[in-house]
Amino acid sequence: MITQGRKWIIVGICLMTLLLLFSVIGCSSSGPNLVGKWQAVQGVVPFDEGGLPFTQVEFLSGHAFILLDFMNTSGNYSFPDSSHIKLDMTGGSLTYGFTWSGNAFTLTGGNIATGGNNTVVFQRSH
């Protein structure tokens, strides 16, 4: 027979288990798997004309990145929400609109040129 005290202990253990399970599930959704090298293939505008400061980026495990053609600038990336990516670097941060489609992603906004061409498409490079 279960006493009243043991009943509350069992309920507490069940609640703690559920809380732990939900926190693990919530933390596991951190955006698409970008690990690898990427090359801009569409919409590239020179930086001095308001374009991206980079056309090649490598995303590493642990949410790190390297801008391969921009003095090997590195930092960390995050997804503030499901439609944006934020690149944090020593000198500041850049936030872009972000859409993902398998082996390609598109950046919009941020410091990308708005003169009729404000999107840049990246594809995995090998």
Contact at 8 Å (CB) between 101 and 119?
no
- pTM: predicted TM-score of the whole model, two decimal places: 0.67
Alpha-carbon Rg for the chain, nearest whole angstrom, is 21
Answer yes or no: do 45 and 11 share one domain: no
* Backbone CA torsion sign across 83, 33, 63, 96: negative
Domain span at residue 19 reads 1-29
Kindly report, residue by residue over 3-15, the tens digit of the pLDDT: 777 766 654 454 4
**Alpha carbons 117 and 121: distance in angstroms, whole number:** 11
Average pLDDT over the chain reads 76
Residues 23 and 46 in one domain: no
d(CA 34, CA 116): 27
Residues 40 and 25 in one domain: no
Measured at the CA of 126, the angle between CA 64 and CA 122, to 5 degrees, comes to: 65
Per-residue pLDDT reduced to its tens digit, 22-50 = 443 344 446 788 999 999 888 776 666 66
99 & 118 share domain: yes
Mean pLDDT of 41-63: 80
